[in-house]
Amino acid sequence: MTYRLLIADDDEELVKMLKSYLEIKGFEILTAGDGLEVLEKLSKNPDLILLDINMPRMDGIEVCRKIRNETACPILFLTARVEEQDRVNGLLSGGDDYITKPFSLKELEARITAHLKREERQKFRTSSRYENGLWIDYAGKEVRFEGEEIPLTRLEYEIVEFLSAHPGQVFDRERIYERVCGYDAEGDSRVVTELVRRIRKKFSVCLKDEVIETVWGSGYRWKK
């Protein structure tokens, strides 16, 4: 199977270099030079998007927010921004990974491959979980309450899936972040805190009791 990647960056030399390297590795490559072009290329159904943050016409954060409800494919930010808040903003906008420039081509390839393999594993999952009107479809990657879909971002869903698949088991923020994002995220535990807060807010509309419990000093667990 040949995977189709969309590289979105206004740095023409970087795009040219990435396109050449990844094509040699067997990927089909689409390119976009600004945010609006990303929206246009979305109809080509890329399997994964490499997205720069600082782009003309529409920045990567805004692009990610706009397309996240239209595609479930992994979105990996490529950026020179190194501040923790920039990483937090990127991930909360719906991104799946955050890679700072300059980066190793081998590491980039490894992260791309890891995300794509994870997507393939998800396709073969057919189980679901149902309790008290809440239905979690692990294959379709959606959560419903009495038939009505609860709109979750990709990372919000990943946290729900991970915790609900291990009811009663406590996971610290670092472990949760590593599991849902696929790499070590030391210093980014507040991303998990914010995501859990958002999940609880969305669930509170239809659920009387919280299903994600805080275990003080330890982390979070799905209520048994």
Q: Please state the domain extents for the chain.
A: 4-122, 125-222
The number of angstroms, rounded, from the C-alpha of 22 to the middle of its chain's C-alpha atoms is: 21
Q: In this structure, are residues 44 and 31 in contact, taking their beta carbons and an 8 Å threshold? A: no
Average pLDDT over residues 69-93: 82
- Fold classification of 4-122 (topology level): Rossmann fold (3.40.50)
Q: How confident is the model at residue 89 (pLDDT cuts 50, 70, 90)?
A: confident
State the Cα–Cα distance between residues 158 and 136, nearest whole angstrom. 11
How many C-beta atoms surround the C-beta of residue 143 within 10 A?
A: 22
* Residue 23 one-letter amino acid: E
Q: Residue 121: is it exposed, middle or buried by C-beta count within 10 angstroms (0-12/13-18/19+)?
A: exposed
Return the C-alpha torsion angle 108, 27, 126, 67, nearest 10: 70
Q: Does domain 125-222 have CATH number 3.40.640.10?
A: no
Helix, strand, or coil here: 83? coil
For the whole model, what pTM was predicted? 0.62
Q: How confident is the model at residue 82 (pLDDT cuts 50, 70, 90)?
A: low
DSSP 2: -
Identify any residues that bridge with 145 across adjacent strands, giving them in sequence order: 134, 148
Q: How confident is the model at residue 178 (pLDDT cuts 50, 70, 90)?
A: confident
pLDDT at 30: 95
pLDDT at 91: 83
Q: What confidence tens digit (pLDDT) does each residue in 33-61 have?
A: 999 999 999 888 898 999 999 888 888 89
Angstrom CA distances, 122 to 36, 52, 166, stand at: 30, 26, 17
Mean pLDDT of the chain: 87
- Asked if the model's pLDDT at residue 152 lies above 60, the reply is yes
Contacts with 154 (C-beta within 8 Å, 6 or more apart), sequence order: 68, 72, 94, 96
pLDDT at 224: 77
Contacts with 55 (C-beta within 8 Å, 6 or more apart), sequence order: 8, 9, 10, 33, 34, 35, 63
Q: In this structure, are residues 94 and 66 in contact, taking their beta carbons and an 8 Å threshold? A: no
Same fold, 4-122 and 125-222: no
pLDDT at 132: 82
pLDDT at 187: 45
Q: What confidence tens digit (pLDDT) does each residue in 95-133 have?
A: 888 888 888 999 999 999 999 888 776 655 547 788 888
pLDDT at 182: 63
pLDDT at 222: 92
CA atoms within 13 A on the CB side of 158: 24
pLDDT at 185: 45
User: In degrees, to the nearest 5, what angle opens at C-alpha 114 toward C-alphas 149 and 175?
Assistant: 70
